[in-house]
Structure 1
Amino acid sequence: MKIIISGSLGNIGKPLTAQLVQSGHDVTVVSSNADRKSAIENLGAKAVIGSVSDADFLSETFKGADALFAMTPPNMGGVNIIQNTTDAGTAFAKAIQNANIKRVVMLSSIGADLPSGNGPIAGLYNIEKIYEKLNTSITFLRAGYFYINFFNDIPMIKGAGIMGANIPAGNRIPLVHPEDIAWAAAEELQKLPEGKNVRYIISDVRTPSEIAKTFGTAIGKPELPWVEFTDEQYLGGMTQAGVPEEMAGLYTEMGSGLRNETIAADFLKNDGKVQGKIKLEDFAKEFASKF
């Protein structure tokens, strides 16, 4: 199969590309960074450099492809983030239609069933709705909260001796490792189901208190506590740390959605299956190596 991978060689794209090349597929990786060209080619894939917001570039790149892994960048600028994400999805949709690609796997998220109250995930809701109108086989691969996001807590642990967010210690959070996403995406790209389908990819479901205890044990701080912040405290802490105001507001809203469990609700009620292999304790070793 000729398969297009968007998202460059990030935490998902690199293992996904390696898996598909090893399986004998003709893989092209789309990146906005020309410096990634040699790394992509070293994996045995073709590199194409350009913007995922450029429908004409994408249409040309997608010509003749059998399948596409569609991933919009996680940070579409410091302002107008939802609109920028949606615009990129619109460009993808136009290119998918122009190139007549028969199979698409879109990286989405828990909470993408919600039009609002989910922070940056609202952009993925918009893209899912755009893709639903396309005449092609699409799987919306809704991923959990990335384990690797907890790397952002390392300065807090070192500076204050705590972990925390605007989420209660006892709430259930569906978590995922990028390598499990890559495995699920590779599996889906090689299928051709009819119509539009949702697949959740979750590695583990744990509470913040369990997360703090597991990480604390791994770094030699077994009593590491999880502290629940108010929305105002969480927002203020991020802006003081240099996070752009709009982005900080969206992350605060996402934390609120995890707090009231609306973001996790569709997975917990209607699917609930943990398919990923990398559990919290496995990732804790990776966390400790970065600490």
Structure 2
Amino acid sequence: MTIVVTTPTGHVGSRVVRLLLQAGVRPRVLVRDPARLDAATRERVDVRRGDLTDAAFVREATSGARTVFWVDPTPHTAEDPIETSERTASGIVDAARAGEVARVVLLSSIGAEKRGGAGHIDGLARIEERLDATGADTLHLRCGYFFTNLLLDLDGLARGVLTTSARPGMPLPWVAPRDIGEIVAARLLNDEWKGRVVQAVHGPEDLTYERIAEILTGALDRPIRLETVGDDDVRAALHSAGLPSSAVEGIVGMTAGTRDLIPEQPRDLLTTTPTTLAAWAYTHLRPLLRA
């Protein structure tokens, strides 16, 4: 059973690799810089060095695999991020269509079910559709907002401010990447699922930004004040940072397009994961802010 893992040094991928190794599986990992893997991991995995934006490399490196875990590597800051995400997935889509890959597990997102109007998330929606059309078994993991997104605003949190353009009282699922990795590993090791499957990963509870500020205040032992801004304020800040207009709209659209989203998959036993924001923030955010 050959399992391929993309982005093996990322928040989710690194956890997937560790769990597969502990399960006795030697995964094939696709990585641009093998030096980013720790030495112990590098010795135990099958390393294929290359760029995920190179469709020929992806197709060759995944050929013959039973299951591939595909993570779109396109940064939100890329020019034309939606089109870039779709184009980058061409290698794995072609491999699945040709029967060179039997199954694909896609790291998708809530909002992809809208099939449009959700900024860069639309890129994941297009990848879902293209994989569905290949005839391969496909599993789309539609995840909530990553706790690690808060790391992007360390400077603000250090000043005691949590900034968002989302509705402050609108609850949405938030999840720890580690928990996502555990579900991914379980699905990769499970050889029974067939066809097209969608599974949400919603974390332990839906959270409003008002509640997030309260949780962070307790976990970080410092007052965190919520500050809401408008979409145009976000646009202005991103343009001033030099981002192209297509990237700006891709970023703004992710929040604007999911502002009133009710995820397609309900919260239940299968979609709920255990790690709380308070526990994650105490373990990860608190040391960073103290430093």
Give TM-score, length-normalised by structure 1.
0.90
Q: 1:284 aligns with which of 281, 284, 289?
A: 281
For 2:85 and 2:124, the matched residues in 1 are separated by: 7
Alignment RMSD, CA only?
Answer: 2.0
Which blocks of at least 5 consecutive residues in structure 1 are unaligned? none
For 1:35 and 1:242, the matched residues in 2 are separated by: 30
Q: Does 1:170 align with 2:172?
A: no
Contact 1:76 1:84 survives alignment (8 Å): no
Q: Does 1:190 align with 2:189?
A: yes
**Cα distance change of structure 1 residues 78 and 220 upon mapping to structure 2, 3 Å threshold:** same
Aligned to 1:275: 272
Aligned to 1:213: 214
Aligned to 2:27: 27
**Cα distance change of structure 1 residues 221 and 239 upon mapping to structure 2, 3 Å threshold:** farther
Shift of 1:258: 3.1
The equivalences for 1:90-239 within 5 A come to 90-98=90-98, 100-159=100-159, 161-191=160-190, 192-203=192-203, 204-222=205-223, 224-239=224-239
For 2:247 and 2:175, the matched residues in 1 are separated by: 22
The equivalences for 1:236-255 within 5 A come to 236-241=236-241, 244-255=244-255
**Cα distance change of structure 1 residues 148 and 38 upon mapping to structure 2, 3 Å threshold:** closer
**Cα distance change of structure 1 residues 43 and 281 upon mapping to structure 2, 3 Å threshold:** farther
For 2:240 and 2:41, the matched residues in 1 are separated by: 40
CA distances 1:18-49 after superposition (whole Å, capped 9, x unpaired): 10111111211101224336647436111111
What is the identity, as a one-letter code, of the residue corresponding to 2:172? Answer: I
Shift of 1:6: 0.9
CA distances 1:192-228 after superposition (whole Å, capped 9, x unpaired): 3121010001213111011111112222223x22122
Size of the alignment, in residue pairs? Answer: 284
* Secondary structure at the counterpart of residue 51 of structure 1: coil
Shift of 1:235: 2.0
**Cα distance change of structure 1 residues 77 and 48 upon mapping to structure 2, 3 Å threshold:** farther
CA distances 1:47-68 after superposition (whole Å, capped 9, x unpaired): 1111223332222212221111
Which blocks of at least 5 consecutive residues in structure 2 are unaligned? none
For 1:229 and 1:88, the matched residues in 2 are separated by: 33
For 2:227 and 2:258, the matched residues in 1 are separated by: 15
For 1:148 and 1:141, the matched residues in 2 are separated by: 17
For 2:156 and 2:76, the matched residues in 1 are separated by: 26
**Cα distance change of structure 1 residues 88 and 14 upon mapping to structure 2, 3 Å threshold:** same
For 1:232 and 1:142, the matched residues in 2 are separated by: 28
